[in-house]
A and B are shown apart, each in its own frame.
Chain A
Amino acid sequence: MPQFLPKRFNGRLIVVEGIDGSGKSTQISLLAQWLRLRGFAVAFSEWNSSPLVRETTRRGKRKEMFTPTTFSLIHATDFADRLERYILPLLKAGAVVCADRYAYTAFARDAVRGVDPAWVRNLYRFAIKPNLAFYFKVPLEVALGRILGGRNALKYYEAGMDLGLSRNIEESFRIFQGRILVQYEAMIEEMGFHVIDATKSIEAQQREMRRIVVREFGRTRPPEVLGMEGMVARANA
């Protein structure tokens, strides 16, 4: 059985993946801006951002109620809501949808949490196969340097504290991200990621992404893809 539903829409789906601190969010927003300037109707969707599920996720995190299974399921619910209400209709309409993290994030994180990998993959079988999936490959220490330097407060689940890897939150984060990295690396070939060397300069990475987008979508906007004129794009409906 294929992992995702086949692409059968006018729009295009571009996703970015990578561990925390890989720089993927910076790159996808630069790419989205560039596509808009080229006349594409662009929409944006971020992991774990559905308003329908937000309160439940917040409650679960605040009270540390999640098990690996319920953590996996609430993220799948969040994803389903964004897909059904936002991503899918926009793709049908012909928009370019940029997603900051996609089902691969769940494949990597949930596997590290000990959830059965085959079960998680089945869980996301309702998802749409992306046209382009970029993976931001970065050594663990580089990513950690960016995160641990820039932000002072790591959060409980983000650092994988629920796994009991270490009582030190920074150490837990380090081990957790390292394990996620291994999962991502194992998916590169299987999922057909376009690997971006995330140790390069921001400009060089962006040039590489744009080159791949032009190669895949063509120099001019394909007729079935929606242009800016008929579209009001809003971040995260």
Chain B
Amino acid sequence: MPGPTREPLTFYRTPLPGVEISELQGKLIVIEGPDAVGRSTQVRRLKTWLEEAGHAVLDTGMARSALAGKGIRQAKQGNTLGPVTMTLYYLTDFADRLENEIIPALRAGFVVLMDRYIFSIMARAIARGESRAWIERTTGIALVPHLVLYLRADVKDLISRVVVGRGAFDYWESGLDLGFGHDMYDSFVRYQTRLIRVFDRLSKPYGFEVVDAGRPAEEVFEALQASILNTLAGRNVVKAAGKTAGRTGGRRKGGASRPTFYPTSPRPSSSPAPE
């Protein structure tokens, strides 16, 4: 399954104790993007497609951990979930899945298809005013994926999906805990606009491959398939990592003198890792 130029996985900043990185043979593919962008539908179709091609696939998403999934769902029923608490609860859920599902699956050579990754946790925290340095270090226990597909859409596309698909606005997706706007609609627009802006800012330093999700679902699916095929063949791994290195190491365009993001321990772009 691994492609000819497969690079070893690395952790962003802080290696988890007890993980032998060279044992991880699988591919880690992340689908990210705001609420109601159509991620889950795409992940389902991609899973079927990959399995048809003979890959073993683990698909996982937020609040699905055995440890914290139920607790998070219960916590969201109340309205006393503070922003730091929410961030850390989701991170607990993420870490549980990382250590108990994702890493074992990668060790076994699976394609791990993630419906959201640390970037949603980061975006929500940053959109709620938490420090970016804090959240970047905190999520530094994550593995650098082989591919991050960012489903990008404008707020108006999300709204039509919410109205047509779900018929109602959700409390948390509307960011009502932030106290913006007079009603669910106003709040949804302001909160999701802010989230999209954060995702956009994360895009370059973290090497997202941006997929225009404002198109019909079929076209989006084809675009995702093409990128995933490249990754499975080992073709676009280096490119994503190269972007990461270029952006975090030096100055950004526009003259900002300090890097916006903390270094993400990118994979070397040409030579193999020393170990």
The answer to whether the Cβ of A188 comes within 8 Å of any Cβ in the partner chain is: no
Contact: B67 with A52, CB < 8 Å? Answer: no
Give chain B interface residues in 50-88, CB to chain A under 8 Å.
66-68, 70-71, 74-75, 78, 80-85, 87-88
In the complex, how many residue pairs between chain A and chain B have their CB atoms under 8 Å apart?
A: 94
Contact: B67 with A65, CB < 8 Å? Answer: yes
Contact: B137 with A122, CB < 8 Å? Answer: yes
Contact: B17 with A123, CB < 8 Å? Answer: no
**Residues of the B chain whose Cβ atoms lie less than 8 Å from the Cβ of A77:** 85, 88-89, 91-92
**Residues of the A chain whose Cβ atoms lie less than 8 Å from the Cβ of B68:** 56, 70, 74
**Residues of the B chain whose Cβ atoms lie less than 8 Å from the Cβ of A70:** 67-68, 92, 95-96, 99
Contact: B85 with A80, CB < 8 Å? Answer: yes
Give chain B interface residues in 109-127, CB to chain A under 8 Å.
none
Give chain A interface residues in 47-75, CB to chain B under 8 Å.
52-53, 55-56, 59-60, 65-70, 73-74
Contact: A55 with B71, CB < 8 Å? Answer: yes
Smallest distance from the beta carbon of A89 to chain B beta carbons, Å? 10
The answer to whether the Cβ of A85 comes within 8 Å of any Cβ in the partner chain is: yes
**Size of A's binding interface in residues, CB under 8 A:** 31
**Residues of the B chain whose Cβ atoms lie less than 8 Å from the Cβ of A74:** 67-68, 92
With A52-B80, A85-B82 already in contact, the answer to whether A69 and B89 are too (CB < 8 A) is: no
**Residues of the B chain whose Cβ atoms lie less than 8 Å from the Cβ of A125:** 131, 134
Of all chain A residues, the one with the shortest Cβ separation from B66 is A65
Give chain A interface residues in 117-137, CB to chain B under 8 Å.
118-119, 122-123, 125-126
Contact: A81 with B99, CB < 8 Å? Answer: no
Contact: B138 with A123, CB < 8 Å? Answer: yes
A77 to B88, CA, bound (A): 5
Query: What residues make up the interface of B, taking CB atoms closer than 8 Å to A?
Result: 13-18, 66-68, 70-71, 74-75, 78, 80-85, 87-89, 91-92, 95-96, 99-100, 130-131, 133-134, 137-138, 140-141
